[in-house]
Amino acid sequence: MRLPLEMLIEKYQKNLFAAALNICANYDDAQDAVQETFLQYYLSDKEFNDEEHLKAWLLRVAINKAKDLSRSLFRRRCVPLEELGEDIPFEDPADGRLFEEVMRLPEKYRIVIHLFYYEDLPVKEIAALLHTGESSVKMRLSRGRDLLKTILTEESDNDKSGTIQAYI
Amino acid sequence: MTNQEQYKRTFDTVASSRMQKLEASDIMERRKKNFSFKGAAVALAAVLILISLFGAAYASDLGGIQSKVQVWYRGELTDVTLEITPEGSYTMEFTDENGNPVKQEGGGVAIGPFGKERPLTQDEILEHLNEPEVVYEDDGTVWVYYGAQKTEITDQFDEDGVCHVKLVGEGKPIYMTITYMEGYTTSGRKFPKPVK
């Protein structure tokens, strides 16, 4: 099965952008990775078993494109973390801090954390998507959480709002 | 609110705020492919060493900025139009086996022994274009292309996503260490350490 490009953009652009951003840490590159992903779908004749299969393919291609871009010698300038979260209308200030701390994680932890929490994927599917072992995914997930916990706990010592610990 | 709900809310807000809405019509019109510099992760530090190891391109006209050359592309010796800038970036255009126009762009710098950077030369870019290439196909298979050779390595990755491939061509063998979707390193003597 295949779906019209318009429908895929409507349904999945945000998912792909969020995943690519976790690799690139750069809005322009993430946008390019998503555009390249949809272009690859359009140029491909690949048939999919179902929509879940199609979404997994889109995510894998977007992650791959984002990695290519982030490793390109001609990649866009690195955006300081402080700028990355600027002017985003977060519903709660704690969301802004969560975003900044997630983006501060090493990429290999960040993408696993993202696929787990945002895409709600089980470890097995994350491993298949990233073409790595389940034990490696579990390790990255655990270390990523530990790093978030350390950073946020340290910050919470200075910020007594008491909300930050809830991320752990 | 659970951690997951807050995480989703946070990244939904970021994506909605910063992504530009794509139009299907724009994508359909843009029938070209852009590729990043192959092996860029390792090229930055090792390009001067790597370049001398690989096979030749067959240049027919290298006098101008734009040249007609032949390079190996997915196992086929392919006629391409290559444009190289003084800054060391290139644009390569050709028609693939299905008649679709393909545009590949890239470039880079070479780093000398004292860390001084310079743009890649025309010869270095041509040699780079004939380096081994790792291709991740839509169906999930992974292939290594080198000259006229094509090898599937889909099931050769270990638990850490690392695969070792020895390529034997006309010259010395090339030892490749490929990290899944991360890049690869090569050596003429032994399997190098994987890309981190």
> How much is the average pLDDT of A42-60?
90
Nearest to A38 by CA among A70, A12, A67, A75: A12
CATH code that applies to domain A1-79: 1.10.1740
Architecture of the structural domain at A85-168: Orthogonal Bundle (1.10)
Q: What per-residue confidence (pLDDT) applies to B110? A: 67
Give A79-93 pLDDT, tens digit per residue.
677 778 888 999 988
For chain B, which residues score pLDDT lower than 50? 31-64
Q: Which of residues 129-168 of B touch A (CB under 8 A)?
A: 136, 138-139, 157, 159-161
Q: What per-residue confidence (pLDDT) applies to A72? A: 62
Nearest to B151 by CA among B138, B174, B175, B167: B167
User: Which of B52 and A78 is assigned the larger pLDDT?
Assistant: A78
Residues 6+ apart with CB under 8 A from B168: none
Give A14-39 pLDDT, tens digit per residue.
999 999 999 988 898 899 899 989 98
Q: What per-residue confidence (pLDDT) applies to B40? A: 36
Q: Quick one: tokens of A16? A: 């792909």
Q: What per-residue confidence (pLDDT) applies to B52? A: 27
Nearest to B34 by CA among B77, B89, B98: B89
B98 touches chain A (CB under 8 A): no
Residues of A in contact with B28 (CB under 8 A): 5, 42
A162 touches chain B (CB under 8 A): no
- Check: CB of residue A112 under 8 Å from CB of residue A137: yes
Q: Which of residues 61-100 of A touch B (CB under 8 A)?
A: 61, 63-64, 67-69, 71-74, 85, 87-91, 94-96, 98-99
Q: What per-residue confidence (pLDDT) applies to A123? A: 94
Domain locations along chain A: 1-79, 85-168
Q: What per-residue confidence (pLDDT) applies to A158? A: 41
Q: Which residue has the tokens 């370049």?
A: B51
Domain locations along chain B: 31-131, 132-196
Exposure class string for B108-118: b at 16+ Cβ within 10 A, else e: bbbbeeeeeee
- Separation of alpha carbons B103 and B81, rounded Å: 10
- Separation of alpha carbons A45 and A102, rounded Å: 36
The chain A residue lying nearest B23, using CA atoms, is A6
Write the CA distances from A45 to A1, A118, B23, B34, B175, integer angstroms.
10, 29, 20, 19, 34
Task: Judge whether residue A7 has pLDDT over 90.
Answer: yes
Q: What per-residue confidence (pLDDT) applies to B148? A: 81
What's the 3-state SS for chain B?
Answer: CCHHHHHHHHHHHHHHHHCCCCCHHHHHHCCCCCCCCCCHHHHHHHHHHHHCCCCCCEECCCCCCEEEEEEEECCEEEEEEEEECCCCEEEEEEECCCCCEEEEEEECEEECCCCCEEECCHHHHHHHHCCCEEEECCCCCEEEEECCEEEECHHHCCCCCEEEEEECCCCCCEEEEEECCCEEEEECCCCCCCCC
Q: What per-residue confidence (pLDDT) applies to B33? A: 32
Give A111-167 pLDDT, tens digit per residue.
999 999 999 999 999 998 888 889 999 999 999 988 887 655 544 444 333 333 333
Q: What per-residue confidence (pLDDT) applies to A119? A: 95
Residues 6+ apart with CB under 8 A from B23: A9
> Chain A to chain B, count of Cβ pairs less than 8 Å apart?
145
A8-17, A35-44, A61-70, B180-189: segment of lowest average pLDDT: B180-189
